Structure 1
Amino acid sequence: MSTNSTVYIAGLGVITAIGNNVPDHLDAFKNKRAGMAGITLVDTVHKGKLPVAEVKLTNKELIALTGLTEHNSRTALLSLAAAKEAIADAAIPNLDSLRVGLVSANTVGGMDRSEDFFVQFLQDNSKGKLKDVYDHECGSMTEIVADKLGITEFVTTISTACSSSANAIFYGARLLRNDVVDVVIAGGADSLTKFTLNGFNTLMILDEAFCKPFDQNRKGLNLGEGAGYLVLVSDKVAKTLTKPAYCTLSGYNNSNDAFHQTASSPDGTGSYLAMQGALKKSGLKPADISYINLHGTGTPNNDSAEGTAVKRVFDPHYPPMSSTKSFTGHTLGASGGVEAVFSALAIKHKIIYPNLRFQTRMNELPFEPETHYLADQPVKHVMSNSFGFGGNCTSLIFSEV
């Protein structure tokens, strides 16, 4: 296989606060149904104060869905649920005879189980089940899912903050283009934990109301959880599919502005370089992009930096754009995978997603996000942005087949 071969998206799987599968999400977008509510699943001092976007299934229900055990992290449960949906959706003939890889991302690993363990252990060091903490680290989440799916050819984990699963997807594409594997399940998952709630609260970037990405009066983000995976296939496998591929992954780039541990540079240097690099890789011009799925967290710094970068790349002609985090909250390491699924669906179903709760254009920007659900749109190329702590910025471009 040449390194110029096309990478096709054959299957999708997603679980977030607005749905447990792809059809649920399409319905939620159409009906402008956001997933934010009060905290119910995490025992935290922020309960009753901060809204979050929780997946509406308990661990017990996720165990029934996935076949994992009570000792598995919620991160692994969410990951397997979405990965299984993506594989089933792809329906690849003779999958067992192909070289299959799993590139999965997360940032919290099994921290939810570890936090529960230490509450008991610190009160009495003879209490707490060590079984709950032996798979704490991020790589274990991927290994658990790979074992359950029977994937052995290539398995690896990526953890680069909020760009993690976008990087997993383009790493998967490179594996295909260099003939390492024939099929890659790529994306990521993250669950809500006390650690992330406390950490983001300490940074003072959480909104006590539902978030308003790209609004002049935005105050911060709402944390979410979930998982999103794509099944990427080579030219050879694409020819055997029993239904059309959703789209192709035509461009991708990772850049780093090395500005600050948790803040984006004011002029959005990393974001700008990621978008420019993805366009160059795809061979497309800014005017070719039909829709931008913004990183759009709702924090003053992030939206200003991303908006400045979008202006640098697209001025004076701006495609429709929106932040789907206004529905799902910020799912951290899962966000790139979740929003890649949304990007593929935008192309297949010719839709533009609304940016909920937007009211006032940002003073420094000459554009504003789309606030309506738009059907029957000419969506040919979608750019999806995922920008993480440490300046780790990634843009993906999906194109119609």
Structure 2
Amino acid sequence: MSFLSDSHRVFVTGCSVLTGGCDSLDGLFELLCADRSVSGSLPASNALAEIAGLEAGDSSILSRHQLLALAVVERAWNSAGLPPKRNRLRGEGTKHRISGFGCVSGSSLGGLVAMEEDLKASGKLSPYSISRWRGNAVSAVTTVRYGLGGADFSLNAASATGAQILYLAASLIASGMLDAVVAVAADAAVSPVLKSAMGRGGSVTRNSDCRPLSAGRSGMSPVEGAACLVLESASHATRRGAAPLAEWSGGFCANESRHLMAPDPEALVLEELLTNAKKQASLREGACRPIDWVSLHATGTPRFDAAEVACVRRVFGNSLPWISAMKRTTGHALAASGLLEAALIVEGLRLGKWPAWPAGIDPEFGLPESPYFPSQQPSMAVQIGQGMGGTVVVNALCRV
């Protein structure tokens, strides 16, 4: 998907995030601007059900990652000014359905966490256990609850899931297949067994103070989290008088086809996608709108943080954009990370405010330690997403 003409514009009209002890987008962006990490934990499941507006009978059949998802969807839906009607989850009452409104969702390990919890519980399994474990667990509850009658997709591209969700959701609107899409991802806190399995691959840090791009980085820090973006075509948003927060202006998605677990240390596919994004950023409406902000995937692994930074430097040379490494603030919320980062980009573009330049950057990267803030407001940001299995995603978001 190349960058878009005026007739295929895609707007972001609603956002919501949950991670660490932070349950608001503005609060999380403030931490990002201070280059500080989130602390604390997210609300208990009964509090999440309350945020989502669920009745007890519905909340009792849901897993933790489903509750996280519905909580962020509820807030994003309301912030976008969408209709107040909701469906019950088990068929009670009158149903409403919105044709042309789809859902693209995902979770990396949420179903496995739910399965572990159910299998540890005493007594018989619930008739709804399978609905908590399946790959479409998030999409199923979201489409039923909000009456989303358009196409729905359930994705899992490991750490690239959130960025891939945004790419597919926006592409469905840009192609004319859908008028609007709820893009949502959620992952519950991983169990000790799952964390141990992740650690066997050498990707998880043993140091709670480890931060991406730092000289002492030693791996990612997995956390639970959820995020939702509401996307609409320009015509759909205009018809209902919705105010856009930012615009998805294009993107690219590819696979390295190289290794089951590890990204390409040369980052050649990422270089190709970033080069395409850089070239096409100037084509929209015939006017130059250069990329001035790159949101790195940067998980904190020594080898691949270095490969990503080296790739960005090759592509942009002496015109290096402002960079951010948001997992320094949010931790790695697995599938939700890409949408968390996209929501933070939207907030920065909306406010016209830059995040902090990462402090204590590994000097081997050759990046400036404390550059001056640009005099102008951020205009076009590129998000990088990568995942085990070789998925590479680049999304471009711009100020409106």
Q: What range describes the TM-score normalised by the shorter chain of this pair?
A: 0.7 to 0.9
Superposed displacement of residue 94, structure 1: 10
Q: 2:182 aligns with which of 163, 181, 185?
A: 185
1:70/1:210 CA distance change after superposition, 3 Å: farther
| 1:132-189: CA deviation from partner (whole Å, max 9, x where unpaired) | 6322012122101211112122221111111112111121122112222211111322
Contact (CA 8 Å) 2:17, 2:228: kept in 1 or not?
yes
1:216 maps to 215
Which residue of 1 is the match for residue 125 of structure 2? 129
Distance 1:367 1:11, change over 3 A: same
Which residue number in structure 1 is paired with residue 110 of structure 2? Answer: 109
| 1-structure distance, mates of 2:84, 2:114 | 37
1:114 Cα deviation from its structure 2 partner: 1.3
d(CA) in 2 for partners of 1:165 and 1:156? 13
Per-residue CA distance 1:40-64 (angstroms, 9 max, x = gap): xxxxxxxxxxxxxxx4211121122
Amino acid at match of 2:293: Y
- Secondary structure (helix, strand or coil) at the match of 1:233 reads strand
Q: Which residue of the partner structure matches residue 398 of structure 1?
A: 397
| Correspondence for 1:298 | 300
2:9 match:
6
Q: 1:103 to 1:346 in 2, by over 3 A?
A: same
Shift of 1:368: 4.8
Residues 162-201 of structure 1 correspond to what in structure 2 (within 5 A)? 162-194=159-191, 195-201=193-199
Q: Write out per-residue CA displacement over residues 229-286 of structure 1, whole angstroms, 9 at most, x where no aligned residue.
A: 2111112123235453112111211122223222121111132123223334544699
Partner of 1:20: 23
TM-score in terms of structure 1 length:
0.85
**1:18 to partner: Cα distance:** 4.6
In 1, the alpha carbon distance for the partners of 2:314 and 2:258 equals 18
What is the match of residue 72 of structure 1?
62
- TM-superposed CA distance for 1:28, in Å, is 3.1
Worse-superposed segment, 285-294 or 298-307 = 285-294
Letter in 2 for 1:57: P
| Rounded Cα–Cα distance in structure 1 between residues aligned with 2:142 and 2:281 | 31
Contact 2:49–2:71 under 8 Å retained in 1: no
Shift of the 77–107 alpha-carbon distance from structure 1 to 2, 3 Å rule, reads same
What secondary structure is seen at the aligned counterpart in 2 of 1:239?
A: helix
Deviates more, 1:275-284 or 1:91-100: 91-100
Find the residue that maps to 2:263 and give its secondary structure: coil
Q: Secondary structure at the match of 2:17?
A: strand
Query: C-alpha deviations, 1:38-95, integer Å up to 9, x for none?
Result: xxxxxxxxxxxxxxxxx42111211222214133111111111111211111114799
Letter in 2 for 1:90: A
Query: Unaligned 5+ residue runs, structure 2?
Result: 86-96
Is 1:152 aligned with 2:122?
no
Does the Cα contact within 8 Å between 1:110 and 1:133 map onto a contact in 2?
no
Match of 2:319, SS state, is coil
Aligned length: 376
**Counterparts of residues 2-401 of structure 1 (less than 5 Å):** 5-30=8-33, 32-36=35-39, 55-66=41-52, 67=54, 68-92=58-82, 99-120=100-121, 127-131=123-127, 133-135=129-131, 136-194=133-191, 195-207=193-205, 208-242=207-241, 244-283=243-282, 288-354=290-356, 358-363=359-364, 365-368=365-368, 377-401=376-400
Report how far residue 131 of structure 1 moved.
4.2
Structure 1 residues without counterparts, runs of 5 or longer: 38-54, 122-126
1:27, CA displacement in angstroms?
Answer: 3.7
Summarize the Cα distance change of 1:324–1:369 in structure 2 as closer, same or farther, 3 Å threshold.
farther
CA distance in 1, matches of 2:370, 2:256: 28
3-state SS of 1:378 partner: coil
**Compared with structure 1, are the counterparts of its residues 272 and 58 closer, same or farther at alpha carbon in structure 2 (3 Å cutoff)?**
same
Paired AA for residue 204 in structure 1: G
Aligned letter for 1:309?
Answer: C
**Of 63-72 and 100-109, the range deviating more from structure 2:** 63-72
Distance in 2 of aligned mates of 1:131 and 1:179 = 38
* TM-score, length basis structure 2: 0.85
- Structure 1 pair 182–279 and aligned structure 2 pair: CA distance change class (3 A): same
The one-letter code sitting in structure 1 at the alignment partner of 2:70 is: L
CA distance in 2, matches of 1:155, 1:61: 27
CA contact (8 A) 1:291 1:319 kept: yes
